[in-house]
């Protein structure tokens, strides 16, 4: 991530055109006004505003260029018997030096912000990579929106993987949100991806995730790590989906223009050490051609409008189900949620799945 000069900093995006135009317009306007005013009326001291404006729109080089033009406008005679006092020149010189320093500091800050943003995007791709359009015989689409403004990753996550027991998916909501939850998300994702290959049942997958959180809670010394999770399995050569819920909201089965809530009664959340003692119930749901399964986190249904009303996902889905594409469906839910509640106060994750055959 180094730039051309080897500084290790990425080039920031240029300032908006209007912002870069302001100091030039001010310089040209004051110069024109100075030339148009009668002798004895001096406006040149207003040019001292140009270098600070340039510092917020250009880098140090651009600021130096505009400062040099400003000095020329002050020092060169304007066909009149007036010359600047030495104190005016010294004041302008101080302003110019200060502006160049500000421009340099701003440029370095912009470089650092771009680098941090790039690292955050790389972390998102590592923790929550984009889903392919299909995993084996299962079509899929995911949508994620972090509650913490400007944050790309948070406490909700999803993944879809193919293994020897079919295609398995997880949608989970870990304790907390924002950057503090990223470590737990990464640990659960790693455990899930291993369990997809090793564990013969969804109950065993849930037990593996539960053990991961229990172990991490003990190593952290706080004993408070927990997460809700929904596990789905599309076994090979069967038009069914198996569902296990660990404290997570039930998904919806979309069939035509109908939306039906499915799933067994949720088991306790992960991280309490109960999945291995009392395995969660597993529900088997028959799938017809064209059926889709929509899973979500509670950031969707707990979003409130200005009057405090929760977002009615179950009521809205029959209308939104008209969007046949999985990506279009998740985006339609997101847009409808935004119209209802604005930006949600909690992380929002949606996962839509359907068989290709």
Read off the pLDDT of residues 232-272 as tens digits, 9 standing for 90 and up.
999 998 999 999 999 999 999 999 889 999 977 778 899 88
Cβ count near 264 (within 10 Å): 14
47-97 tens-digit pLDDT: 777 888 888 788 788 888 887 877 776 665 544 455 555 556 777 778 888
| Higher per-residue confidence, 311 vs 275 | 311
Contact (CB, 8 A) for 33 and 40: no
pLDDT (tens digit per residue) in 109-138: 888 877 777 776 666 666 777 889 999 999
Distances (CA, A) of 225 to 152, 165, 170, 208: 21, 29, 18, 15
Compute the distance between CA of residue 265 and CA of residue 244 in angstroms, rounded to an integer.
9
Q: Is 242 exposed, middle or buried (0-12, 13-18, 19+ CB in 10 A)?
A: buried
Q: Return the ∠ at Cα 16 (arms to 11 and 21), rounded to 5°.
A: 120
CB-count exposure of residue 1 (10 Å: 0-12, 13-18, 19+): exposed
Q: Taking Cα atoms as reference points, which of 228, 232, 252, 259 lies closest to residue 243?
A: 232
Distance CA 287, CA 276 (A): 29
The domain segmentation of the chain, as residue ranges, is 17-123, 129-355
In this predicted model, which residue has the larger pLDDT, 331 or 6? 331
* 21 closest CA partner among 68, 62, 76, 74: 62
**Ranges assigned E (strand) in 118-191:** 134-135, 138-145, 156-163, 166-174
| Superfamily of domain covering 129-355 | PPM-type phosphatase domain (3.60.40.10)
Distance of CA 37 to the CA centre of its chain: 54
The reported pTM is: 0.70
Q: How many CA within 13 A on the CB side of residue 135? A: 20
Angle, vertex CA 128, rays to CA 125 and CA 130, nearest 5 = 75
Q: What is the pLDDT of residues 198-209, one digit of tens each?
A: 999 999 999 999
Contact status, residue 206 vs residue 268, Cβ threshold 8 Å? no
């Amino acid at each position: 991530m180094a730039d051309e000069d080897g500084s290790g900093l990425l080039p920031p995006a240029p300032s908006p055109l209007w912002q870069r135009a302001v100091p030039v317009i001010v310089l040209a306007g004051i110069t024109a006004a100075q030339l148009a005013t009668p002798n004895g009326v001096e406006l040149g001291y207003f040019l001292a505003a140009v270098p600070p404006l340039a510092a917020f729109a250009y880098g140090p080089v651009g600021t130096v260029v505009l400062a040099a033009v400003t000095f020329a406008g002050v020092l060169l005679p304007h066909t009149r018997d007036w010359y600047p006092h030495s104190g005016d020149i010294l004041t302008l010189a101080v302003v110019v030096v200060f502006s160049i320093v500000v421009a340099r500091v701003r440029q370095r800050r912009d470089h650092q912000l771009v680098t941090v943003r790039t690292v955050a995007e790389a972390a998102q791709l590592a923790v929550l990579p984009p889903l392919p359009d299909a995993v084996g015989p299962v079509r899929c689409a995911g949508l994620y929106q972090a509650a913490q403004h400007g944050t790309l990753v948070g406490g909700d996550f999803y993944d879809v993987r193919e293994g020897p027991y079919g295609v398995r998916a997880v949608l989970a909501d870990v304790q907390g949100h924002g950057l503090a939850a990223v470590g737990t998300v990464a640990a659960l994702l790693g455990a899930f991806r291993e369990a997809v290959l090793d564990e013969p049942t969804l109950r065993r997958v849930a037990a593996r995730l539960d053990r991961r959180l229990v172990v991490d809670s003990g190593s952290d010394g706080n004993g408070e790590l927990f997460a809700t999770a929904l596990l789905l399995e599309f076994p090979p050569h069967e038009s069914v989906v198996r569902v296990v819920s660990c404290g997570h909201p039930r998904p919806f089965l979309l069939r035509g223009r109908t939306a039906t809530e499915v799933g067994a009664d949720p088991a306790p959340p992960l991280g309490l050490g109960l999945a291995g003692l009392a395995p969660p119930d597993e529900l088997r749901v028959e799938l017809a051609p064209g059926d889709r399964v929509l899973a979500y986190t509670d950031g969707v249904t707990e979003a409130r409008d200005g009057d405090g009303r929760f977002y009615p996902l179950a009521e809205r889905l029959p209308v939104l189900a008209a969007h046949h594409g999985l990506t279009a469906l998740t985006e339609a839910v997101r847009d409808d949620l935004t119209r209802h509640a604005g930006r949600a106060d909690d992380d929002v994750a949606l996962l839509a799945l359907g068989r290709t055959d």
